[in-house]
Amino acid sequence: MTGLVQIEPQRIPVRKPDWLKVRLPGGENYFELKRLMRELGLHTVCESARCPNIGECWSHRTATFMILGNLCTRRCGFCSVPKGRPLPVDWDEPERVARAAAAMGVRYAVVTSVDRDDQEDGGARLFAVTIQALRRHIAGCKVEVLIPDFRGSDEALQIVLAARPDVLNHNVETVPRLYPVARRGSRYERSLRLLERAREIAPAIPTKSGLMVGLGETTVELHDVLRDLASAGVQIVTIGQYLRPSPDQLPVARFYTPDEFASLKRYGMELGIRHIESGPLVRSSYHAHEQAAAVSHPA
């Protein structure tokens, strides 16, 4: 690395283009789901990461559960999830997640977490217990997990894979050059290796990864990442526009057009990636059940 990467703060606010405008969340299902999460003491990445799709997803009674508390041990420059010293692991949390999912009528559950570098296994065992609880409470429930990098631990990865999630997701998030500012505490090579090892350990479980654009990366760099993901055997990729959650996070360098997202999708598909969701409002778990269905049959 030749030096620190800097992203200059914007002095003139960049106006969001029309294709990024969404309705404010509301409606009976939205408020019912919000009440259910508070009653059970649960967290969702939809709220903690201030996802722009929360209104649409919650109105359809779908949500991404965030386990291992609501305090992250890393300080990624793009993320609005609260940071700090986490509370002890709550081993009753998986049961509450399963009860909430059952009450929602979920048939495809997505489970993610904060980073828990304070835990020897990075929280892997709680992921496994949550998968088991969901299947115990909901017959035929499919489970996608969006896991942290577990600091490169094969043992932690094996714990999660042994619980047989239907999809294993780990987001590389951005291009290697921007890791020092966007993903402090993480390493691109470590994330890529995790995805490669998952395919080696459990080749029948599809792997998935996601990218944000608009942090200052180049098209060449994005193409390089897509080639790396294809080489790692990743079957599902999501590409979406980075939106600054608050003034405390990194500024948006630029907004990509729908045509540019379509071009990135074409490039990735030509590399052999089986399914790519690429668009301004695409997020890792947005329409996750449809992404999984697209790779559920043999290639």
CATH of the domain at 220: 3.20.20.70
Residue 21 is assigned to a structural domain of this protein: no
Phi, then psi, of 141 in degrees rounded to 5: -65, 135
Q: What is the pLDDT averaged over residues 231-247? A: 94
Residue 134 is assigned to a structural domain of this protein: yes
**How confident is the model over 190-229, as pLDDT tens digits?**
999 999 999 999 999 999 999 999 999 999 999 999 999 9
Task: Report d(CA 245, CA 253) in Å as an integer.
Answer: 14
Q: What is the pLDDT averaged over residues 98-110? A: 87
Q: What pLDDT, on the 0 to 100 scale, is given for residue 294? A: 76
pLDDT above 60 for 177: yes
Task: Report d(CA 208, CA 121) in Å as an integer.
Answer: 21
Residue 4 is assigned to a structural domain of this protein: no
Residue 8 is assigned to a structural domain of this protein: no
Tokens of 167: 């999809």
Tokens of 6: 């800097």
Residue 15 is assigned to a structural domain of this protein: no
Residue 3 is assigned to a structural domain of this protein: no
Q: What pLDDT, on the 0 to 100 scale, is given for residue 293? A: 77
Q: What pLDDT, on the 0 to 100 scale, is given for residue 36? A: 67
Residue 9 is assigned to a structural domain of this protein: no
Phi, then psi, of 20 in degrees rounded to 5: -105, 5
How many other CB atoms are found less than 10 A from the CB of residue 185? 14
Q: What pLDDT, on the 0 to 100 scale, is given for residue 78? A: 78
Number of independent structural domains in the chain:
1
Tokens of 172: 């590389």
Task: Report d(CA 227, CA 192) in Å as an integer.
Answer: 11
Residue 204 is assigned to a structural domain of this protein: yes
Query: Which domain range does residue 115 map to?
Result: 26-294
Q: What is the pLDDT averaged over residues 150-156? A: 97
Q: What pLDDT, on the 0 to 100 scale, is given for residue 30? A: 59
Q: What is the pLDDT averaged over residues 133-160? A: 96
Handedness of CA 129, 133, 136, 142 (dihedral sign): negative
Per-residue b or e along 269-295, where b marks 16 or more CB atoms closer than 10 Å to that residue's CB: bebebbbbbbbbbbbbbbbbbebbebb
**How confident is the model over 28-55, as pLDDT tens digits?**
555 666 676 677 676 665 555 455 555 4
Listed residue (53, 161, 168) closest to 110, CA to CA: 168
pLDDT above 50 for 10: no
288 vs 78, higher pLDDT: 78
